[in-house]
Amino acid sequence: MTRTAGQQSSAGAAASIEERAREVPIVTRELRKDYEMGAETVRALRGVDLEIEENEYVAVMGPSGSGKSTLMNLIGCLDTPTSGEYWLDGQAVQDLEEDELAEIRNREIGFVFQTFNLLPRASALHNVELPLVYAGADREERRERAADALESVELGDRMDHAPNQLSGGQRQRVAIARALVNRPAILLADEPTGNLDSRTAAEIMSVFDELHASGQTIIMVTHEHPIAAHAARIITLRDGMIESDDATVAADPVAEMVDS
């Protein structure tokens, strides 16, 4: 069943956005983002109304230029909207200063990127520790939590390995462990299988499936339908607006990925 942006908005019409934000972790209303490119204004988002519940698994799709990366950056507090509202865990993000946004990014959101973004000379353990360094955790706590995060992605025996000693799938597992080490409310993944072959991608997606089953909220940008099929909901953007918002039914997305 398709849930349009208008239908989602009308579902909470009786309540103010502040009231909805107390009930739903992620709420946006009329979210817009413009970029000035010389004399031209690029309207990347043109009024997005969106609600994402706790423990939802959402895939965001769309053609190049549709606004999916811009939406991800706004949800991840990496950027601020030109207009409109974004509420995260009851807080009006559009009203926050940069240092407050940085604190939310470190405390509430875990990021997984296509290119892994690991320090090449640091061990897997030290790479995973980094968010805890920024959070001010002491050395013993950092090592214990980083080790637990690596164990959770089945890399307990690779903690001392540098990225160049790991396969692509193992490097992405390190990146996932790093995203999880601060126990974030939301995990944002931007094309997390883009640099992986189909079989390795299937292994990484099984990690995301397990995380979702454990209660993790996941929002994933992808252009691959078999990857999106792992999510319970697919939001498709076009020209900066929500074109469709559908629940998914996938018999066996892992098999589709391996066979493709």
Asked if the structure places residue 44 within a domain, the reply is no
What's the pLDDT score for residue 256?
47
Residue 213 is classified by DSSP as: H
Asked if the structure places residue 33 within a domain, the reply is no
Asked if the structure places residue 41 within a domain, the reply is no
What's the pLDDT score for residue 198?
93
Asked if the structure places residue 226 within a domain, the reply is yes
Asked if the structure places residue 186 within a domain, the reply is yes
Residues with Cβ within 8 Å of 171's Cβ and at least 6 positions away in sequence, in order, are 116, 118, 163
CATH number for the domain spanning 62: value is 3.40.50.300
Q: Which two tokens stand for residue 198?
A: 């189909």
Q: Quick count: other Cβ atoms within 10 Å of Cβ 40?
A: 7
How deeply is 66 buried, as exposed, middle or buried, from its count of CB atoms within 10 A (0-12, 13-18, 19+)? Answer: buried
What's the pLDDT score for residue 12?
47
Is 87 within 8 Å of 93 (Cβ atoms)?
yes
Task: Tell me the residue range of the domain where 238 lies.
Answer: 54-81+97-259
Asked if the structure places residue 6 within a domain, the reply is no
What's the pLDDT score for residue 161?
98
Q: How many domains does the chain have?
A: 1
Asked if the structure places residue 30 within a domain, the reply is no
Reading phi first (left if > 0) and then psi (alpha if -120 to 50, else beta), residue 50 is in beta
> What's the average pLDDT block by block, 10 residues per block, for the chain (260 residues)?
46 68 94 93 96 97 94 95 95 92 92 94 97 92 97 96 97 97 95 94 96 96 95 97 87 46
What's the pLDDT score for residue 193?
95
**How does pLDDT run across 218-256, given as a tens digit for each residue?**
999 999 999 999 999 999 999 999 999 999 865 344 444
Buried b (16+ CB within 10 A) or exposed e, 148-182: ebbebbebeebbebbbeebebbbbbbbbbbbbbbb
Asked if the structure places residue 224 within a domain, the reply is yes
